[in-house]
Structure 1
């Protein structure tokens, strides 16, 4: 024990001046060492000091999945971090970047699959929102945005010149309208179901068209025309341009003269064009939606402290001067409002075009969902029979309005009808109890093609009139089970191959017919009738507080469909479109 102790004369109370001086010198030296170490640690953690390859021996590895357009820039930034020994908490950053389509990553995360990456940079926050909205999905956390790129309409020079580029400016509907007038200006786009560029543009188009008379029908018509010339991805849509430098490639109707593209995609294409085959870019004057490149942590609770801190360090690095130059070199905006002249001109833009004009506000999740729903039914075409509850309870007032449940339901159904095209087949049943003899239902309009004409009226005209004429049956109760079974049998027996087939049922109550089959019998029979090779999902919507959502979900699930609850009948339109998108993605 004595060897760990100091002799008395050198103890705390010793008065030897030599010891006091030595202690003072040690203390001063210690402070200096600690100051240098602290300063060095701060410099290293900020990536300011380099020790050759020393920190590479204990680098923290990070895997990032990135949208194919931004992946090259991120790889360059990762290489910059390696060469300059950029560190996180004293450990070098070793970042690997893989190019992956944003919709594919979204599908994998929504399926709850374990991820092999710690961070994700899709081209739009809409993908992050889509994953975050799914309670069963792998968790993603948006930590910030690293760049942006507006969406416009790029054209081969001959087509752009015919429309007065660069001095003349157009709205979205004017540009797409020019492409719809004849086949001389063919407009292509990436599939909005798989492309943020395509969906943001489609949503902008839908919003712009909705403000005009007959807007929903016009938007559906534009979507239908656009659907004839879609490609699976943003990269593939560029392959649809003419191969000859004149931009005409006469005799090949598969080639497009105009494309819905991001500014960055046009920049990258022009940079690789070697002087021929470049594009001119129109920036629509009513606002350009923007890709915003969020940086998201993937499954953050499962990340180690080193991984999460390294991911955030890499994100902050992308905001520093040299990585910002790298992003700009690859055609991305690092300042959304004041892009460089070199970027705009490189993308085919011009000072006469409103290249700083942004959308009034980003599209809401609801607007995106409705546009995607319209796209789904437009592209695939649909055969849908709508079955509406006409029991007496539908006369109940909707809270906060002077309208009944039936009034608001009719308005919402008419709104939904406007999104369908002449190729879609729509029909209408209504039900109560003993509505037609012993039957609880009546077929008001058989399910037929909306464009079919009888006399002076089309099927759309007949349906509009029938929806408008719907009224609650005085004293009528809810004959739910028998109606559901009969309508589903009819929908299955009249299945239309090549179309999206579905049965949409709306009710504000539970089954009130004591003479009907039981719920368990209904579910059993629906399961026996359902054919996976000829899917007809039941989309069951419980309207108001008296309906039973769990019952709707149980009945609909037996067919591969879905059950929904809406407190306000005005939500029916959105719910139908959302359910169609969900059912269509599973078929």
Structure 2
């Protein structure tokens, strides 16, 4: 495992329209537009007014420096009391939905309840204003911007004619549909064309991309309507077929791609193009693929193969990064005054000059972009040639609703450890097994009836047609109307015998079964939940890695099976689970705080 990689502690992701989300966890959440991050963001005892700004993660480093510069600004000097500003990472979509509920901010530390909010786009402030109250989001004003692009490994982009030939979303869609894949442009060894996109319910990039698809299908560059979005359904459905899996952050995909390139592969078997913000591409090319908060003294290593920005010929949407003082009941008069002063400072020349250092474009066009905005880092400051305006709120809602119907279908096998240690309590009156069962049950509403869902349990001393150590609760078949029946089957786990932990054997059996039935038209995945180390497998970890890593080799498989382990409780073998996730292009989730297991389960399922 790369020393840069870190286990991701996920915050809850909504799996139904009415679900509450975004509990603040005291853990790092790398990547663009992810959950929340309050680690190391406490305030000093300085006698100043404390101002928290909830922001998308890629702006945390930049806002830290802007907060320091604010201390020396005329805007700060005009305050009666000094002010200290601290950013915390809260995903744009999660923050928007939480604010809409009207409850208190989900953090025990009231100092971290935000006075200011800076999502990646005014799309989110508009949605809160429409769904809750315009007063709650105040008067958002953009202070910086970054376009949404497709990042491609440079050799792949050149194979499509970049940088001399304009490349459109239609071009990418046609390459996706071509049965020869990369072979259609003379690169047979690269296999199928694969796209990474994020979930538009939580990610600005994911939302912008589906809107750009609708613009492309309609042939428009402005005035997109709900009817245009509805008319683009077939185009978007085809485009979604190339998606490897959906996540709530591009940082996870970029981290996997980075590791692939650093280990001698060009990453072609994993992904061909990533929909992302230009600033995330710049971070990647500097050696910060997950856009994490860079610590003092940390050394970044650029990737061996850089990504280049493909600005779609039909135009790009921009993340316009507003900042606003919230009209929430917890914001005091002193905080409001200080927050307004900081927001005003962000518009000044002194603040705008700092933005390009962090890969953001200033609103003040007289400010030089600097060394990052060059071909050396994969971007073109003269692009995008066409700017696609933000549609009305009702059009955006139509696009999100449509995505739920046209997104790539999934085929998911949930593999649950039922060894003896699962009887251990987790501190909230439940056992670990209780938490696992409830976590799996709460995810069922996320799946469509056409999605395929299966559930296996594993321990020693049991067997089934699937193999030794495996109990099949449900074969991987379309969920249809079986949600209630599967819910009942999961309850049966309470009475199952619980013995040893044949973790590697169970994963190998599940992987082989899923590989035999995997289809290119689906996201094929295994979710593994384990609370301990392997104790009883005939298969070694190295042998398992060798066998399940075949689909990530050069050219790869048209229907790869990716593994998403959940490290459940403090005894889980996170090192082994990380290797298993990495080699299949999956992702490890951390549920070391076992009380959060149902929330972490929801976050995992959000990737499909």
- How does the TM-score come out when normalised to structure 1? 0.52
1:261 aligned residue: 276
Paired residue secondary structure (2:354): helix
The answer to whether the Cα contact below 8 Å between 2:266 and 2:305 also exists between their aligned partners in 1 is: no
Counterparts of 2:212 and 2:54, CA distance in 1: 28
The answer to whether the Cα contact below 8 Å between 1:224 and 1:378 also exists between their aligned partners in 2 is: no
User: Is the counterpart of residue 110 in structure 1 residue 82 in structure 2?
Assistant: no
TM-aligned CA deviation for residue 155 of structure 1: 0.7
User: Is the counterpart of residue 225 in structure 1 residue 242 in structure 2?
Assistant: yes
Match of 2:320 among 271, 278, 292: 292
1:131 aligned residue: 128
1:349 aligned residue: 379
TM-aligned CA deviation for residue 321 of structure 1: 2.3
2:295 aligned residue: none
2:90 aligned residue: 100
TM-aligned CA deviation for residue 258 of structure 1: 1.5
| Residues 231/267 of structure 1: CA separation in 2 closer, same or farther (3 Å cut) | same
| Residues 312/177 of structure 1: CA separation in 2 closer, same or farther (3 Å cut) | farther
Residues 175-324 of structure 1 correspond to what in structure 2 (within 5 A)?
175-181=172-178, 182=181, 183-211=191-219, 215-226=232-243, 228-241=244-257, 243-245=259-261, 249=265, 253=269, 255-272=270-287, 273-274=301-302, 276-300=304-328, 302-324=330-352
The answer to whether the Cα contact below 8 Å between 1:149 and 1:332 also exists between their aligned partners in 2 is: yes
Counterparts of 1:500 and 1:295, CA distance in 2: 44
The answer to whether the Cα contact below 8 Å between 1:128 and 1:142 also exists between their aligned partners in 2 is: no
The answer to whether the Cα contact below 8 Å between 2:352 and 2:364 also exists between their aligned partners in 1 is: no
TM-aligned CA deviation for residue 221 of structure 1: 1.7
Structure showing greater radius of gyration is 1
| Residues 354/80 of structure 1: CA separation in 2 closer, same or farther (3 Å cut) | closer
TM-aligned CA deviation for residue 200 of structure 1: 0.7
Counterparts of 1:159 and 1:340, CA distance in 2: 27
Identify unmatched segments of 5+ residues in structure 2: 1-44, 106-112, 182-190, 221-227, 288-300, 411-447, 451-475, 489-604
The answer to whether the Cα contact below 8 Å between 2:123 and 2:390 also exists between their aligned partners in 1 is: no
Counterparts of 2:282 and 2:171, CA distance in 1: 24
User: Is the counterpart of residue 69 in structure 1 residue 58 in structure 2?
Assistant: yes
Paired residue secondary structure (2:102): coil
TM-aligned CA deviation for residue 243 of structure 1: 3.0
Paired residue secondary structure (2:58): coil
Counterparts of 2:372 and 2:268, CA distance in 1: 32
The answer to whether the Cα contact below 8 Å between 2:144 and 2:362 also exists between their aligned partners in 1 is: yes
| Residues 222/89 of structure 1: CA separation in 2 closer, same or farther (3 Å cut) | same
- Give the RMSD, CA atoms, in angstroms: 4.0
Paired residue secondary structure (1:241): helix
User: Is the counterpart of residue 377 in structure 1 residue 405 in structure 2?
Assistant: yes
TM-aligned CA deviation for residue 367 of structure 1: 2.5
Identify unmatched segments of 5+ residues in structure 1: 1-55, 383-422, 426-495, 503-528, 535-583
Summarize deviations over 1:453-475 as a string: whole Å, max 9, x none.
xxxxxxxxxxxxxxxxxxxxxxx
Paired residue secondary structure (2:265): coil
TM-aligned CA deviation for residue 97 of structure 1: 1.1
TM-aligned CA deviation for residue 93 of structure 1: 1.9
2:79 aligned residue: 89
Counterparts of 1:104 and 1:251, CA distance in 2: 30
Summarize deviations over 1:341-379 as a string: whole Å, max 9, x none.
63432651237x7434311x2122233222212221233
The answer to whether the Cα contact below 8 Å between 1:156 and 1:247 also exists between their aligned partners in 2 is: no
Aligned length, in residue pairs? 347
TM-aligned CA deviation for residue 184 of structure 1: 3.9
Counterparts of 2:96 and 2:138, CA distance in 1: 13
Paired residue secondary structure (1:358): coil
The answer to whether the Cα contact below 8 Å between 1:149 and 1:333 also exists between their aligned partners in 2 is: yes
Summarize deviations over 1:401-430 as a string: whole Å, max 9, x none.
xxxxxxxxxxxxxxxxxxxxxx987xxxxx
| Residues 380/151 of structure 1: CA separation in 2 closer, same or farther (3 Å cut) | closer
TM-aligned CA deviation for residue 305 of structure 1: 2.3
1:330 aligned residue: 358
Match of 1:340 among 364, 369, 389: 369
Q: 1 or 2 for the larger relative contact order (CA 8 Å, sep ≥6)?
A: 2
TM-aligned CA deviation for residue 188 of structure 1: 1.0
The answer to whether the Cα contact below 8 Å between 1:196 and 1:291 also exists between their aligned partners in 2 is: yes
Paired residue secondary structure (1:95): strand
